[in-house]
Amino acid sequence: MTILNIGTEAFNSTEVAEKVQADISFLLSRIALLQEQPNPNPVIIQTYQEMLESRQAVLDWLTQDQRNLIQPAAGTSH
């Protein structure tokens, strides 16, 4: 867990990551639903796709520190 300081407020990165993951799940299901329509609107799908990519980048950034803590340093063995 990391503490994110935004302005004067502190947030638990795990909680933020869970919220972002929920957004990603929603966007994935929404995109799939839109693509199933007989005449899907490409502008709306593209907008949702861009939002999805943004959320995925944020999630990757939030979990980056946790992955680095788990991976052994180069040159070490277990």
Q: In whole angstroms, what is the distance from residue 42 CA to residue 61 CA?
A: 28
Q: How far apart are CA 8 and CA 71, in angstroms?
A: 32
Query: pLDDT higher for 25 or 3?
Result: 25
Please give the pLDDT value at position 73. 54
C-alpha 59/C-alpha 77 separation (Å) is 29
Give which of 2, 22, 18, 21 is closest to 10, Cα–Cα: 2
**Is 23:54 a contact under the CB 8 Å cutoff?**
no
Whether the predicted pLDDT of 69 surpasses 90: no
Angle among Cα 14, 51, 29 to the nearest 5 degrees reads 85
Output the pLDDT for position 68.
56
The pLDDT assigned to 30 comes to: 97
